[in-house]
Amino acid sequence: MRNPLFRRVISNMAAPHAVDGVDGGSRETELILPDSSSSGGEKRPQFGTRFLTDPRQVFQHNAWDNVEWTEEQETAAKKKVLENNQPLPQEKQDEYDTRANEYWNDFYTVHENRFFKDRHWLFTEFPELAPQFSLKQESHLEESEAASTGDQEQSQEVEPISLSDGNFPGSTATYRILEVGCGVGNTVFPILKTNNDPGLFVYCCDFSNTAVELVKTNPEYDPGRCFAFVHDLSDVEANYPIPDGSLDVLVLIFVLSALHPNKMQGSISRLARLLKPGGVMLLRDYGRYDMAQLRFKKGRCLSENFYVRGDGTRVYFFTQDELHELFTAAGLEKVQNLVDRRLQVNRGKQLTMYRVWIQCKYRKPAETQS
């Protein structure tokens, strides 16, 4: 316990109740990532730019990037997770699985669009979402032409379609992005605002019809550029309203972790089929031993590293290797797989919160036929 940061995290772990709005197993600030957080009034770019070299300086800023964990800290985290690893009975597990979308509907009925913040950090982390800002992606722009066919409001219940049919929402677009588990659009609306490529079309889906309704009734929802639909991504038999091989980018932001671990591989493999050769899947999600995992109390564990929150929604905490396995087994190639260990600081309460997120980009090989 020589390291003062270690002392602090242990004291946070020991406190069973809310720390800065965070408590084990209930809704929290876990997903409210800083939005170009400022300290001392200055704006700074997202992620990876401020390093804590002198632990005595910890309360000088709101957040520190790429924080190294001590061995003692890692051991304490493992111990905490093991202590909690007493899975709930199977019938409870089944209920959380079969009623998963109802729990999310309830969540959005309560919070509407007030819970998650717009994810503006997306464009520094994933320039593919607004490629006109990235020199690397210039070739997409050359093909751009006006989209908007008016097809967008057709029913989501579709017959299987092929790319050559041209009979699907956004069929004339030259750059297609799909976000799965879009919630109320905190990723989709920033994309539509930031990416003004006239050839862009954005699809988004969620299995919560309450969330999708909130997307569609948002004044920023433009059916000429966007198509929102209800879809359970773990239902691998269900059709998407877009053909296989049609997407340039697929986005999963804190959604894969909400699925039962047994359904993750099937879901990722199904999604991979939707990508064009050369298309990319982008993910940001919870990493193993993230503060949100360590704060779960006993009685919330469903299986190893998989938990149910107080509101009935579920969450898994990944390792980089697990995600690598899921993507490569779906035939994708690694472009990026990194762990973002961030130390968030509540300077007022003099508390530290160790966050662990994983960020991945995996590409469908160019030569693969879909």
Ligand X SMILES: C[S@@+](CC[C@H](N)C(=O)[O-])C[C@H]1O[C@@H](n2cnc3c(N)ncnc32)[C@H](O)[C@@H]1O
Dist CA 215 CA 141 (whole Å): 27
In the region spanning residues 11 to 40, those forming contacts with ligand X, defined by CB under 6 A, are 31
Asked whether position 206 contacts ligand X by CB under 6 A, the answer is: yes
Structure tokens, 129: 């979402």
Strand 275-286 with 247-253, pairing: parallel
Segment interacting with ligand X, rule: CB under 6 A, options 41-49, 167-175, 228-236, 318-326:
228-236
Show the CA angle centred on residue 48, arms to residues 320 and 35, nearest 5°. 100
Dist CA 113 CA 116 (whole Å): 7
The 10 Å Cβ neighbour count of residue 56 is 8
Dist CA 188 CA 249 (whole Å): 12
Asked whether position 202 contacts ligand X by CB under 6 A, the answer is: no
Q: Residue 27: what residue type?
A: R
- In the complex, least distance from residue 284 CB atom to ligand X, rounded to whole angstroms: 8
Among 152, 171, 187, 368, indicate the residue that binds ligand X (CB under 6 A): 187
Dist CA 209 CA 352 (whole Å): 37
Asked whether position 232 contacts ligand X by CB under 6 A, the answer is: yes
Asked whether position 360 contacts ligand X by CB under 6 A, the answer is: no
Segment interacting with ligand X, rule: CB under 6 A, options 38-46, 79-87, 175-183, 212-220:
175-183
Element (H, E) at 355: strand 351-363
- Which CB atom, from 180 or from 282, has the smaller least distance to ligand X? 180
Among 181, 199, 261, 287, indicate the residue that binds ligand X (CB under 6 A): 181
- In the complex, least distance from residue 68 CB atom to ligand X, rounded to whole angstroms: 27
Among 123, 203, 221, 254, indicate the residue that binds ligand X (CB under 6 A): 254
- Which CB atom, from 97 or from 333, has the smaller least distance to ligand X? 97
- Which CB atom, from 102 or from 333, has the smaller least distance to ligand X? 102
DSSP notation for 251-283:
EEES-GGGS-HHHHHHHHHHHHHHEEEEEEEEE
- Which CB atom, from 59 or from 116, has the smaller least distance to ligand X? 116
- In the complex, least distance from residue 208 CB atom to ligand X, rounded to whole angstroms: 4
DSSP secondary structure letter of residue 21 = T
- Count the residues of the shown chain that bind ligand X, applying the rule CB under 6 A: 23
- Which CB atom, from 34 or from 198, has the smaller least distance to ligand X? 34
The residues near 232 (Cβ < 8 Å, ≥ 6 apart) are 101, 207, 238
Asked whether position 186 contacts ligand X by CB under 6 A, the answer is: yes
Strand boundaries in the chain, DSSP class E: 63-64, 175-180, 200-206, 226-230, 247-253, 275-286, 301-303, 306-308, 314-316, 333-346, 351-363
- In the complex, least distance from residue 348 CB atom to ligand X, rounded to whole angstroms: 26
- Which CB atom, from 254 or from 289, has the smaller least distance to ligand X? 254
Segment interacting with ligand X, rule: CB under 6 A, options 1-9, 180-188, 213-221, 352-360:
180-188
Asked whether position 290 contacts ligand X by CB under 6 A, the answer is: no
Within a 13 Å sphere around the CA of 25, how many CA atoms are in the beta-carbon half? 14
Within a 13 Å sphere around the CA of 179, how many CA atoms are in the beta-carbon half? 29
The 10 Å Cβ neighbour count of residue 75 is 11
- Which CB atom, from 177 or from 211, has the smaller least distance to ligand X? 211
- Which CB atom, from 6 or from 296, has the smaller least distance to ligand X? 296
Among 207, 229, 296, 306, indicate the residue that binds ligand X (CB under 6 A): 207
Dist CA 162 CA 48 (whole Å): 42
DSSP secondary structure letter of residue 232 = -
Asked whether position 64 contacts ligand X by CB under 6 A, the answer is: no
Question: Under the rule (CB under 6 A), what is the footprint of ligand X?
Answer: 31, 100, 104, 116, 119, 180-183, 186-187, 206-208, 211, 232-234, 253-255, 258-259
